[in-house]
Structure 1
Amino acid sequence: MKKIFKISMLCASVLGAQASFANEFWSADRQWLLGDWNGERTALEDKGYKFTASITSESATNLHGGYNDNNTFENAAQLSLGANFDLSKIAGWNNTTAALSITKRDGDALTLSRIKDPRSSTLGNSQEIYGRGKIWRLTQAWIKTGFDDNRVQFKIGRMGMSEDFNASQCEFQNLLLCGGQLGKSIGSIWYNWPVSLWAANVKYQFAPEWSLGVGVYEVNPDNVKTNSNSDGFNLDMNNVEGATIPVELAWKPQLQVFNGLAGEYKIGALYSTAEAKDLKNSKTHDGKYSFWLNAQQQLTQHNADPKRGLFISFNGVINDRATTAVESTQQLALWYKGPFDSRPQDSIALGLANYMVNDRLTDRQTETNESLGYYSYDALATDYTPIQQDELNVELSYSYQWSPALTLKPNLQYIYQPAGVKEVADAWVAGLTLKANF
């Protein structure tokens, strides 16, 4: 939808007028750009009905380096429409909620047009919102209910995998620095937002600080088709190839730990029953596996405000070497929430993320090229396969929250060895994320 970009730019163009519209349409405490509907919105939420609409725009321009250093500007955008239902209020079903959402993505990616060698498979992306097709998608359609004083929660329906497993904070525009990490390296079996699939999971809080979750998610390539809008609403299970089964143990320390500062630590593993091809030969494996660690901790607190201060996170993934091109990923991030008393909702963040390409893939690429007579990098040959190794992504960003309804996030990114190809010049990218809640 080209209108997404136009609306995003319209939102940005009003940023010089905050004083003129104080406590009005663009006031700093505005919850939604379209307002409270004369009180009807709050009244509906009190009855259990919450409606959401948002536009996210991610723009990027290449400053230096990359495969093609001709400067250009690319924008990717997403429209999300959703509803959440508190069924304890609506129908008297205790501890039960439901969600429904649809999304539409559009735009183009700078990484594809300028940063990486077009003959290489993509590793990172300077605009995390790009991907999974420019189509409408059913992103959520699930119901969740709790038992045993809500210590046991059961969820079933259409959902993304990182909603409940391998979830992490997102303070950045770069793909590997934002959200769940598994979908970036095993995207054939692990589907992040906006893709949904049939699934069920259960989480059990067996102690005040500890919980254990397990889920079953279909592996169905039909869910990631992008030919038409009907692909985004595929509900059949005709081509299911197996199931992905994640297990995750989470620890949330009580307040007396770490000087009373909040944190969360998770370790997890998955096994996919779908057949997987070996990277180097014609062998087919019965399945594949991955392991992960997510850790997030508040390090300092600003003026006794638990929402302000310095935070740190680390996310690591180890994948099955026999079948997975990206052997592992590592992400480290620091961000300071509320750096200025006059801007308590803003944040400044620095993140580093690394893709480690499996040397079994590198060996196969080398062997393929040598069989065609290529013993060094060829910038022109269409049948040459660039040799991929590691890629490092670094981003510095500032999140400026005009109000709960409108956020701007300018950022500067550095990509070392784009797509893991050492012959491609390291790239510098300037980006801007805009999010508007209507």
Structure 2
Amino acid sequence: MQQLFKLGCVSLALTTCQLTSANEFYSSDRQWLFGDWNGQRQQLEDQGYKFNVSIMSQAATNLSGGYNDDSDFENAAQLTLGANFDLSKIAGWQDTTAALAITKRDGNAVTLERIKDPRASTLGNSQEIYGRGKIWRLTQAWIKKGFDDNALQLKFGRMGMSEDFNGSQCEFQNLILCGGQLGKSIGSIWYNWPVSVWGANAKYQFAPDWTIGVGVYEVNPDNVKTDSDSDGFNLDMDNVEGATIPVELAWKPKLATFNGLPGEYKVGALYSTADANNVKTGEVEDGKYSFWINAQQQLTQHGADPKRGLYASVNAVVNDRDTTAVESTQQLELWYKGPFDSRPNDSIGFGLANYSVNDRVTDRQIATNQSRGYDSYDALASNYVPVQHDELNVELNYSYQWSPAVLLRPNIQYVHQPSGVKEVDDAWVAGLSVKLNF
């Protein structure tokens, strides 16, 4: 994997050479760094085979604050090998598609190394790509079939839950500001990329602007084991503990309603049948639930280009207070696509998001410390339990889209109360995301 990091760094360094032809390796309009394979790649896509090879790298360094303010530099990365298949073209199966993806993650996170109190459970992360083990994983292996001109779509196989429910835009490097929110607070029953589980879902467009979806996904702790690469390819259901069942209603107006600009609005709920521990008493509950809202709206349009302008996204999750340590999350994001005429595909982003820790968890932590003789924060005692409250994450970034194949995103982040611990200094973090499509 280290060789992959080096390859990404070499590719990034060479992008400083501006070339004009799309056939040149580093041209600003090149679709893939490995090119079109002498026309074969586009020909294969026309026949129903679309391939994806990409590397995402996220570097971060702590500038000040945190549990340990000694400066540190950490890099996390992910390799993705994927393919999509249009089976209507390949096999004549009308309105049928399939996907296969394998991923490998590696590296470390500055949040864990410097920013949070190591005795406290982790809330946010300044590098969203870090987590779920440094192993190879089968991330996608599913097939989807449409009926009635795709008004009804059925999907089955191995997948992450936020592919189809609680999905959201990812324009940031900070974890809670990237994508769906459920996996950030109920990760024991809700699995985001790169973890996949056995699942099935159905979505029905019952009106031109309205879609209803329902899914059933296994809750299986074997799927998040990280002891070896074989854990990332677990396909058995021997230790399934229950099912997570989400329902989501989506409104996506065909005729844009906000100053003639498009948007999408979703509300959803889930119930998990897996047993869950009560955060106050420790007793076993029969299940747990969550609710969410996702809203994304284009607010302005720059000139005649419908893609340029100001966008906003609002996301919120409310979890079962009896069984969940994070009671809710709230997120607000703004990004401006095409800020300069010379850079129509770049964007400037600003986002803030909050973890709200369940006060029942806070009370339990206080009681535990008092029983051990601690009346105030002790930075050295190994058996002291840091008392957790809210954690606020803020990010400002600039996305430099050199070409469809190369994205650079320098960013600055601010973390208030890392892991919700008031006694830990607020932290400033500088980061850089790089994505290369080969």
Tell me the SS of whatever aligns to 1:304. Answer: coil
Deviations 1:352-387 (A, max 9, x none): 000000000001111111110001000000000000
Partner of 1:124: 124
Deviations 1:272-320 (A, max 9, x none): 0000000011311000000000000000011121111000010000000
Tell me the SS of whatever aligns to 1:169. Answer: coil
Give the partner amino acid of 1:68.
N
Tell me by how many angstroms 1:391 deviates.
Answer: 0.2
| Partner Cα separation in structure 1 for residue 65 and residue 302 of structure 2 | 39
| Partner Cα separation in structure 1 for residue 149 and residue 256 of structure 2 | 24
Deviations 1:73-103 (A, max 9, x none): 0000000000100000001111000000000
Partner of 2:302: 302
Give the partner amino acid of 1:126.
S
Tell me the SS of whatever aligns to 1:303. Answer: coil
Tell me by how many angstroms 1:413 deviates.
Answer: 0.1
Partner of 2:418: 418
| Partner Cα separation in structure 1 for residue 302 and residue 261 of structure 2 | 11
Partner of 2:243: 243
Give the partner amino acid of 2:62.
N
Tell me the SS of whatever aligns to 1:306. Answer: coil
Greater Cα shift, 173-182 or 299-308: 299-308
Partner of 1:255: 255
Partner of 2:198: 198
Partner of 1:169: 169
Tell me the SS of whatever aligns to 1:88. Answer: helix
Is the Cα contact below 8 Å between 2:22 and 2:30 reproduced in 1?
Answer: no
**Structure 1 segment 140-289 matched on structure 2, within 5 A:** 140-289=140-289
Tell me the SS of whatever aligns to 2:259. Answer: helix
Tell me the SS of whatever aligns to 1:123. Answer: coil
Q: CA separation of 1:19/1:49 partners in 2, compared to 1, >3 Å: closer, same or farther?
A: closer
**Structure 1 segment 354-433 matched on structure 2, within 5 A:** 354-433=354-433
Give the partner amino acid of 1:404.
P
Partner of 2:95: 95
Tell me the SS of whatever aligns to 2:16. Answer: helix
Q: Share of identical aligned residues, percent? A: 76
Give the partner amino acid of 1:257.
T
| Partner Cα separation in structure 1 for residue 320 and residue 20 of structure 2 | 57
Deviations 1:25-61 (A, max 9, x none): 1001100000000000000000000011000000000
Is the Cα contact below 8 Å between 1:5 and 1:75 reproduced in 2?
Answer: no
Give the partner amino acid of 1:367.
A
Partner of 2:348: 348
| Partner Cα separation in structure 1 for residue 20 and residue 387 of structure 2 | 56
Is the Cα contact below 8 Å between 2:22 and 2:29 reproduced in 1?
Answer: no
Tell me the SS of whatever aligns to 1:26. Answer: coil
Q: CA separation of 1:302/1:3 partners in 2, compared to 1, >3 Å: closer, same or farther?
A: same
Tell me the SS of whatever aligns to 1:8. Answer: helix
Tell me by how many angstroms 1:254 deviates.
Answer: 2.6
Q: CA separation of 1:74/1:256 partners in 2, compared to 1, >3 Å: closer, same or farther?
A: closer
Give the partner amino acid of 2:140.
Q
Q: TM-score under structure 1 normalisation?
A: 0.99
Is the Cα contact below 8 Å between 1:4 and 1:78 reproduced in 2?
Answer: no
Partner of 1:66: 66
Tell me by how many angstroms 1:255 deviates.
Answer: 2.3
Q: TM-score under structure 2 normalisation?
A: 0.99
Is the Cα contact below 8 Å between 1:326 and 1:355 reproduced in 2?
Answer: yes
Tell me the SS of whatever aligns to 1:7. Answer: helix
Tell me by how many angstroms 1:21 deviates.
Answer: 7.2
| Partner Cα separation in structure 2 for residue 83 and residue 256 of structure 1 | 33
Is the Cα contact below 8 Å between 1:254 and 1:260 reproduced in 2?
Answer: no
Tell me the SS of whatever aligns to 2:127. Answer: coil
Structure 2 residue 82 is matched with structure 1 residue 82: yes
| Partner Cα separation in structure 2 for residue 77 and residue 55 of structure 1 | 7
| Partner Cα separation in structure 2 for residue 335 and residue 256 of structure 1 | 19
Tell me the SS of whatever aligns to 2:57. Answer: strand
Is the Cα contact below 8 Å between 1:267 and 1:292 reproduced in 2?
Answer: yes
Show structure 2 runs of 5+ residues with no match: none
Q: How many residues align?
A: 438
Runs of 4+ in structure 1 displaced over 6 angstroms?
A: none
Deviations 1:314-360 (A, max 9, x none): 00000000000000000000000011110000000000000000000
Q: CA separation of 1:45/1:21 partners in 2, compared to 1, >3 Å: closer, same or farther?
A: closer
Give the partner amino acid of 1:51.
F
Two-structure CA RMSD over aligned residues (Å): 0.9
| Partner Cα separation in structure 2 for residue 424 and residue 26 of structure 1 | 44
Tell me the SS of whatever aligns to 2:39. Answer: helix
